[in-house]
Amino acid sequence: MSLINEHDGPRTAIQIIGTAEFESWLNAQPAQSRAWIERQQFEAKSGQFAWLPDDQGAPDSLVVGWDGEEAFTALGSLPLQLPEGTYELAGTASDQQLLGWGLGAYQFDRFKTPERQPAQLLLPANVAAEEIANQVNAIRLARDLINLPADELNPSRLAEEAIQLADSFDADVAVTVGDDLLAAGFNTIHAVGRAADDAPRLIDIRWGNPEHPKVSLIGKGVCFDSGGLDIKPASGMRTMKKDMGGAANVLGLAQLIMASNLPVRLRVLVSAVENAISGNAYRPGDIIQTYKGISVEIDNTDAEGRLVMCDALALAAEEKPAVMLDYSTLTGSARSAVGAEIAAMFANDDELASGIAAGAEAVADPVWRLPLHGPYRYMLESKVADTVNSASLPYGGAITAALFLEKFVDDLPWVHFDIMAFNIRSRPGRPEGGEAMGVRAVYHYLKERFGG
Ligand code: BES
Ligand code: MN
Ligand code: ZN
């Protein structure tokens, strides 16, 4: 853990200096410190750090700049930039700044020994240490799951991870596997996953007091997306171990909700499958009867995410939760629309959408709402079934995917996140690789709305 609560040994003090206050701060420093600052060309830019000397002229403490904008930019790069060791704050830091340190210390070390350990920060006594630790641990879980390659994190392993999480919070968990999916009517989950060696499955976790408001989280758990018979080109397939990023996000969020003991009745549904190719793979032109009874003509086997999600959403809707939230790495189109660093958000409820947008703003976990534009439904019409799985035209692909999902949620308050689940570059607090997106935003919203 890079954020610690106790430490007996030596530590180096760090002080955050506001970029705007830099000049006046500098003028108040002794001459020797001013010389050190100038020699290091320190200007208190966000994340920029410099050493200050002690009375003997030896390096002693640190200053780091912050421009007052995004909280993570203050401390988020330090854990892997400062020399290994223990640091403590001189002066104050916000919870978000401290979280930036905790998240910036992440390294995926499962298959390669890291070159160094992250620097440790001794948390000040007056901060919400447990809350910060819960958030760090939740995001770490999501990142680890996304970063694990598909040969390790297959559907059964994803289910094991979910069971382990459920067990650690005394939650109930049920997993429906393989042909049992057909018996229960989850035909789309089965169709997408049946060609893989490791059987498809639906994971169902319940936690909390049944009297509390029901919150349902639904995650796309495509452990690898080859595209199916509509096979992806190599370039598109290369990153598809992350296609269970939605599942990783909901498991991370569930861990956070349970660790914080939020007064909600939580349900988590994850469709865990591999979209593989073999003789029994589902085909373009196949027509599948969904759990909800809507028939779907398969136009494209690479539009598998909405298929595994639609049965899970229909199941979630049956118990009429107060809010349903799904996370899916659903379309390349959402990435074209908002890029890799913003979660595209769709909602059928304006109050819910603006509440989450406010949460996103508060914790710098950006989301941007796109429209569930009804007139585009014509692109999902099928001549032989109730709907096709993928639109006939190459326009508004994230919207038509969301419109497909909307058919399964019965007008209940619902939010759909179409996410990247991966940082394509390192930023403070956000190392390159698997990433939770929209999780802290929703957690903030849920805490404001339901929190005790
Ligand atoms: N998992 C992909 C979407 C994806 C691609 C997410 C790249 C993030 C980055 C999804 O299953 C998919 O293949 N979608 C297709 C849908 C199309 C066939 C209608 C897409 O977006 O191209
Ligand atoms: Mn696909
Ligand atoms: Zn996919």
Ligand 2 center–CA 77 separation, angstroms: 34
Torsion of CA 67, 71, 72, 75, to 10 degrees: 70
| 75-91 pLDDT tens trace | 999 999 999 999 999 99
Intra-chain end-to-end CA distance of the chain, in Å: 28
Which among 394, 373, 368, 390 is positioned nearest to 381, based on CA atoms? 390
> pLDDT confidence of 393, banded at 50, 70, 90?
very high
What Å distances lie between residue 406 and 282, 301, 390, CA to CA? 23, 20, 14
Which among 416, 188, 433 is positioned nearest to 286, based on CA atoms? 188
| 175-225 pLDDT tens trace | 999 999 999 999 999 999 999 999 999 999 999 999 999 999 999 999 999
Over residues 7-36, mean pLDDT: 97
The answer on pLDDT for 452 being more than 90 is no
| 90-119 pLDDT tens trace | 999 999 999 999 999 999 999 999 999 999
| 419-434 pLDDT tens trace | 999 999 999 999 999 9
Ligand 1 center–CA 243 separation, angstroms: 9
Candidate list 11, 34, 232, 377, residue with the active-site label: 232
Candidate list 194, 265, 306, 430, residue with the active-site label: 306
> pLDDT confidence of 1, banded at 50, 70, 90?
confident
- Per-residue buried b or exposed e for 248-270, using 16+ beta carbons within 10 Å of the residue's own CB: bbbbbbbbbbbbbebebbbbbbb
Show the tokens assigned to 429: 């607090």
Chain-centre distance for alpha carbon 131 = 17
Q: With a 6 A CB cut-off, is 300 part of the ligand 1 pocket?
A: yes
Quick one: pLDDT at residue 159? 99
Element (H, E) at 325: strand 323-328
Q: Is 306 a residue of the active site?
A: yes
Neighbours of ion ligand 3 (CB under 5 A): 222, 225, 243, 305
Instruction: Report which ligand 1 atom has the smallest distance to the Cα of 243.
Output: 1
> pLDDT confidence of 64, banded at 50, 70, 90?
very high
Quick one: pLDDT at residue 26? 98
Tokens 């223990």 -> residue: 86
Quick one: pLDDT at residue 132? 98
% the chain with pLDDT above 70: 100
Q: Is 232 a residue of the active site?
A: yes
pTM, rounded to two decimals: 0.98
Over residues 39-59, mean pLDDT: 97
| 230-266 pLDDT tens trace | 999 999 999 999 999 999 999 999 999 999 999 999 9
